[in-house]
Amino acid sequence: MTEASENDIDLSKFDDPKTFKEVVTSSNSEKWLEAMHNELTSMKDNGVWELVEQTDAIKPIGYKWVFKTKRDSNGNIERHKGRLVAKGFTQREKVDYKETFSPVSTKDAFRVVMAIVAHFDLALHQMEH
């Protein structure tokens, strides 16, 4: 048997949930709920947000859950991933925020980190894939 190529697998037959209602009514609801729990735990452990009291001066932004089934090259399910994303597009610069942050690295920054890891014989762990 040969290994399946990307064109051999009909990914359209795998529909990921689009809403929380679809998650709880899904045949894989336990796995999706666990994925959501894992995302919230990861965010808490990494100090992603700070809980504050809402005042008239604070305009909260909305959020959305995004669900994705992670598959291997043969189309087998590796895991279910839930991602909580802020609807930042509703904000206005200098009204709702003053600065932005995006954890994106350049190739040069990656090379420097890898050189430091190799030089000092450090362990490097990948957070996301």
What gap in Å lies between CA 80 and CA 28, rounded to an integer? 9
Could you tell me the residue ranges of all domains in the chain?
6-99
Residue 121 pLDDT: 94
Q: How far is CA 16 from CA 36, 67, 68, in A?
A: 14, 6, 6
Q: What is the mean pLDDT of residues 55-61?
A: 80
Which residues of 35-101 form beta strands (DSSP E)?
63-71, 77-86
- pLDDT of 60-92, one tens digit each? 888 899 999 998 888 888 999 999 998 877 777
What gap in Å lies between CA 29 and CA 23, rounded to an integer? 5
Task: Calculate ∠ Cα 116-117-122, nearest 5°.
Answer: 135
What gap in Å lies between CA 35 and CA 82, rounded to an integer? 5
Which tops the pLDDT comparison, 55 or 101?
55
